[in-house]
Amino acid sequence: MSPAAPTTRRRTTRPTPRRVTPTCQGQQALTGTDPTQGPVPAPAPTVGEPIQRRTRKGRSPRAEAWAHAEVADRPAPCVLCGTPALLRDPYTNRGCHLACAMAQATERGEQW
């Protein structure tokens, strides 16, 4: 006698899209959206309107600049350690790792 093969059940309907509630107390079903279409995209900014940067209270100017640093398509040598880096220094636009910049600022005694 061979053991019975386990039966698998196929899901016949797609699961209801859910999101985490603001208080992180569980999940809530999304209402007003078509589950086959996915989430509704945010409206695009109008032409000529500057994009507002989100800032955190208490963040130093240096950390704020690095939070919005450019990421390049091709790596460039890090100005501090010499290994390839995709991140660009926000002040000089040269290749630099965030960890290298933080270490250099700490060595200089500057606030990060």
> Is residue 41 included in any domain, yes or no?
no
- Domain for residue 23, yes or no? no
Tell me if 87 is assigned to some domain: yes
pTM, two decimals, is 0.49
Question: pLDDT tens digits, residue range 38-83?
Answer: 555 666 656 665 555 666 677 778 888 888 899 999 999 999 999 9
What range defines the domain where residue 82 resides?
A: 61-108
More confident residue, 84 or 37: 84
- The residue type found at 21 is T
More confident residue, 7 or 27: 7
